[in-house]
A and B are shown apart, each in its own frame.
Chain A
Amino acid sequence: MNLSVKIAGVEFKNPVTVASGTFGSGAEYGDFVDLNKLGAVTTKGVANVPWPGNPTPRIAETYGGMMNAVGLQNPGIDVFCQRDIPFLKQYDTNIIVNVCGRSERDYVEVVERLADEPVDLLEINVSCPNVKEGGIAFGQEPKALEQITKAVKAKAKQPVIMKLSPNVTDITVMAKAAEAGGADALSLINTLTGMKIDIRRRGFALANKTGGLSGPAIKPVAVRMVYQAANAVNLPIIGMGGIMNYEDALEFMMAGATVVSVGTANFHNPYTTMEIVEGMENYLRENGIADVNEIIGCVK
């Protein structure tokens, strides 16, 4: 039975990775998860310099989901290259580095810095709803998205995945803009912008007022968008948004995702990724499917 898939020429031993920001660079979860068993580790977003992130509270639970406004706190690319890449290289898994920035120059600086590093793919985060400058601005305006994709592609040595925001009117317009800019793959969806009010304190639950909603509450939206994007462009897709188990993962793949990312579920059950790989394998076996690639986009 074959579980391996390919994205932009890079082979994944299985179609399961983690969603950026929920897994650090793997060190903390490495105590629970055998990182060798993942198709890839997708790192927390890294910028050209350290970012302190937003004030607390940064997190609030909602029914069937959670909101976060961490604000991309990260140590910057230098520490990342010295510490996190060597850590991940100890494992037999692909490394997808999520790149964040406030301006085109920030993104390009990080991408250039990664050119000679042993990482497999770059995921460009143009869709974080919690960072005011840059970030989301690139992800909601098709022309800006095409431009940043071109700028990154011009310098990148690794395949480029553009991570799309669901906070747009038509996801296919954004998918096509990324394709026009030369993207090698797409990942979607990032979180949906939400708000929660604490009626006891009569204030916002998050210091940032708004946050990104994730978890099973958003899954149907995510599956719909993956399906739409898969049918609008000719690019492989990393699908995510509320995946809790292998059944959810298979939904995304049948909608058109080549790889799936597990995010919020890691907080609920750190073993989710490994359980999904196992569940997927059993599903294929029980249904007499020899190659996982057969199910990608099988629902038309």
Chain B
Amino acid sequence: MSGVRGTVEVLGQEKLASDVYSMVLHMPEIAAKAAAGQFVSLYSRDGANLLPRPISICEIDREAGNIRLVYRVVGKGTREFSGLKPGETIEVMGPLGNGFTLKDKRAILIGGGIGIPPMLELAKELNCEKSIVLGFRDETFLLEEMRKAGDVYIASEDGKTGVQGNVLNAIEEYGVKGDIIYACGPTPMLKAIREYAFEHHMEAQISLEEKMACGIGACLACVCRSTEVDGHSHVHNKRVCKDGPVFDAREVEME
């Protein structure tokens, strides 16, 4: 079953870093069904921007019926969203895709850049020993909230916060140990994590990103190379929006 589509109210909008915003939306139907690692599609009011913007879910408040999205302004659509004020409305579809499968294993949660937000809900939902490894370019965001959810280790490209370098440098530097990795971030990071997990015989769930159109598995735009024949087209192309965005690292090929 795909998500719900409707007009929802913006409850709050906050700037977390130069181009990173946090927006809380009131959408009880979507919040009730949502899971960590899933995403919602946001629609622009400007008819010239036709395609929905897929944004990962940062936090779910099922009781209040709210969902928090933390997103980066990268173009016209996300710029428009960042200008929405409390009380205004937006068209949303969700929750979409498959989120993380929570395992009762010592966990390493890895987020890179704008792949960090979904790690917050995941960290809150995982009731086990966990380490959170975050990679930033320069400016940090969501740090305090992450620290409330678990032990946090940081890498930054400019070296101003934590270890200088990437998330794998931080794992090595701080001797972070675990039995399963959950990761979301840029493709080169996920590729490196996938290899790291294979080398260390660890299970890994990675959340992929690809340009999407429909967001519900119909248009076949956002495919990734899968090791097994996919269920839809019987080739080797799983759909990131529908079969993912979270995949077992062994399910996908990353050249």
Contact = CB atoms under 8 A, between A and B. Distances in A.
Interface stretch (B111-119, B173-181, B227-235): B227-235
B127 interface: no
Nearest 9 interchain pairs by C-beta: A24-B218, A59-B221, A28-B218, A52-B235, A31-B2, A57-B211, A75-B234, A75-B233, A58-B221
A22 B211 contact: no
Given A61-B51, A266-B218, 14 more contacts: A28-B214, A28-B216, A32-B5, A52-B237, A53-B235, A56-B222, A56-B224, A59-B212, A61-B50, A66-B213, A75-B232, A215-B50, A216-B50, A270-B93
A22 B187 CA distance: 27
A150 B243 CA distance: 41
Contacts, number: 114
A32 B219 contact: no
B213 A59 contact: yes
Chief secondary structure at chain B's binding surface: loop
Interface of A: 21-24, 27-29, 31-32, 44, 50-53, 56-61, 63-66, 68, 70, 73-76, 79, 215-216, 244, 264-271
Contact of A52 (B43, B49, B236): B236
A132 B43 CA distance: 33
Contacts of A270: 5, 93, 216
Contacts of B233: 50-53, 73-75
A267 B219 contact: yes
A216 B234 CA distance: 33
Contacts of B213: 59, 66, 68, 267
B50 A65 contact: yes
A56 B223 contact: yes
Looking at B93, B210, B219, which has the most chain A CB atoms within 10 Å of its CB? B219
A179 to B, nearest CB: 32
